[in-house]
A = this chain, B = another copy of it.
């Protein structure tokens, strides 16, 4: 598939997912967000599941691109941006998307295709977080990165499932506290 139609279909899928959630999503609803109509979608994808697997790849690519853009920042500033992004604090649309993403994740235990994609996205995020913590001179960066990502995902899921945005700012500060406590220099007096 050439890049332009793919990009357009993926963007329409993102918008439709945010609006309707996964359970209520249909090819028709995606086509409604897309001026070229349903036939172009069916030309590229057999069904909703195949489209969603491609969408999860697209999500992985987006995550990689965004991380590459952040590479130029100093590691402490980059950590700050990574936390804002992961906590969905940057854009309103992101909050709706987190709900749909939770639904997609709930499919994974019973769909090997979904599970593979989530494993890939997870390992991309883990690698970037680990590199950033390493640059910050954090002890055991791999272990701490794994824990921080769990902490962020769990918090987003808890807050998204009861539609409560409060508390995420506090969590961000707690996570920064953990990182500071884990920096090797800071522990020389302990």
Mark A residues whose CB is within 8 Å of B: 21, 23, 99, 102-103, 105-106, 108-110, 114-115, 118-119, 122, 143-144, 146-147, 149-158, 160-164, 167, 170-171, 174-175, 178, 181, 189-190
Contacts and interface: CB of A to CB of B under 8 A. Distances in A.
B161 A105 contact: yes
A158 B125 CA distance: 12
A4 to B, nearest CB: 32
Given A144-B174, A190-B190, A150 B161 contact: no
Contacts of A152: 150, 154
Contacts of A23: 110
A179 to B, nearest CB: 12
A157 B101 CA distance: 12
SS of A interface (majority): helix
A150 B163 contact: no
B151 A150 contact: yes
Contact of A149 (B110, B147, B158): B158
Contacts of A151: 147, 150-151, 154
Nearest to A153: B154
A143 B108 contact: no
Contact of A155 (B102, B109, B150, B170): B150
A158 B110 contact: no
